[in-house]
Structure 1
Amino acid sequence: MATVWVTVTVTALCAVFAAVLLMGQAALARHRAGGAADLAALAAADHALEGEAVACSLARRVAGAQGAGVVRCVVRGEVSDVVTEARAGPYAPRVRARAGPATAGGGSAAGGGSARRADGQGLSRTSPPPGAERPSGGS
C-alpha cells in the first residue's frame, strides 16, 4: 500500500514541477518579446528619418539579436510602432512598443502633453502654473 502512496505523491510532484516550468517559459517568452520590442522600436525611431525600409530593417536586426522576430513595423514621421514575437516552448507572445520624440502626438516641449505606454498605462506630464516655477529667494 505504501508504494501506491509514493507513486501518487511522486506523480503529483512531477505535475507541479511541470506546471512551474511552463509558467517559467511563458514569463521568459513575454520578457524576451517585451525587451526586443522596446529596443527595436528605439532603433527604428532613431533611424526614422532615413526611411521606413531602413528603420524597419534595423529593427529586425535588433529584434533578431534579442531572440525575437518583428511581426509588424510602421514608421510615421519620427515615431515607430513595432510588434515583436518571441518563442519559448509552446508560447509565442506578441508585444507592441512605440518610440519617438517626446513632442510627438501633440505635446509641447515645454512640458504639456501626454504619452501612452504599450501596456495601456497613461503617462502624463504637466508644467507648473506660470509664476510658480521657483520662489524668489532674495531681499
Structure 2
Amino acid sequence: MSGGSPSSLASDDGAGSILTVAIIGSVVALTMVVLPVYAGFAARRSVAGAADASALAAADTAVGLLPGFPCDAASTVAAANGAMITACVVDGLVVTVTASRAVLGIAVTAVATAGPVGAGVD
C-alpha cells in the first residue's frame, strides 16, 4: 500500500536513519564540549612544566651556576616553553616564578619555587 493511507503513516520505516543522525549529533556535541576542557588540562600541565623549568634555571643563575640575572634566565626558559613570566621574586638563593599562557582566551598560570637544598624551599 502506498500513498497517504493511515497505515503507511504508522509505519516506522526510516526510524533507524533518524536515530543514527541523533546519535551522531550527540557524539559531535559531546566532543565539542569535552575537547576544550581537555585542552585546558593539557595547557595547565604545560604551563606548570614551564614554571618549574624557569624556576630551576633562575635558581641555578642565583646560585652562580649560570651567568646572568635569575629573572632573565626564567623569562628565556619560559619563552622556550611557550609561556611568559608574569612574576619573579628572588629571595637570596630561592626564586619563585609565576608563568602564564592564554589558552582559548583564558589565562592559565602556574607558580614554582626553586633553590638549593636547605635554603628554605618547601
Indicate whether the TM-score tops 0.5: yes
- Correspondence 1:21 to 2:22: no
Choose between structure 1 and 2: higher helix proportion: 2
Normalization by structure 1: what TM-score? 0.67
Indicate the residue corresponding to 1:98 in structure 2.
Answer: 113
Match of 1:131 in 2: none
**Shift of residue 36 of structure 1?**
0.3
- Count of matched residue positions in the alignment of Structure 1 and Structure 2: 105
Please give the secondary structure, in 1, of the residue aligned with 2:103.
coil
User: Contact 1:82–1:96 (CA<8 Å) still a contact in 2?
Assistant: yes
Q: Could you tell me how far apart the structure 2 residues matched to 1:57 and 1:69 are?
A: 11
SS of match in other structure, 1:56: helix
TM-score normalized by the length of structure 2:
0.75
- Alignment partners' CA distance in 1, 2:39 and 2:98: 20
**Coordinate RMSD, CA, aligned:** 2.0
Deviations 1:76-114 (A, max 9, x none): 100000000123334431100000011112xxxxxxxxx
Unaligned runs of 5+ in 2: 1-13
Could you list the structure 1 runs, at least 4 aligned residues long, displaced by more than 2 angstroms after superposition: 1-8, 86-92
User: Structure 1: which 5+ runs fail to align?
Assistant: 106-114, 117-139
d(CA) in 1 for partners of 2:111, 2:54: 10
Q: Percent identity?
A: 35
Q: Is the Cα–Cα contact under 8 Å of residues 29 and 91 in structure 1 kept in the other structure? A: no
User: What amino acid is aligned across from residue 112 of structure 2 in structure 1?
Assistant: A
Greater length-normalized contact order (CA 8 Å, ≥ 6 residues apart) = 2
> 1:116-127 counterparts in 2 under 5 A?
116=122
The one-letter amino acid of 2:34's match is: V
Question: 2:96 is paired with a residue of what secondary structure?
Answer: strand
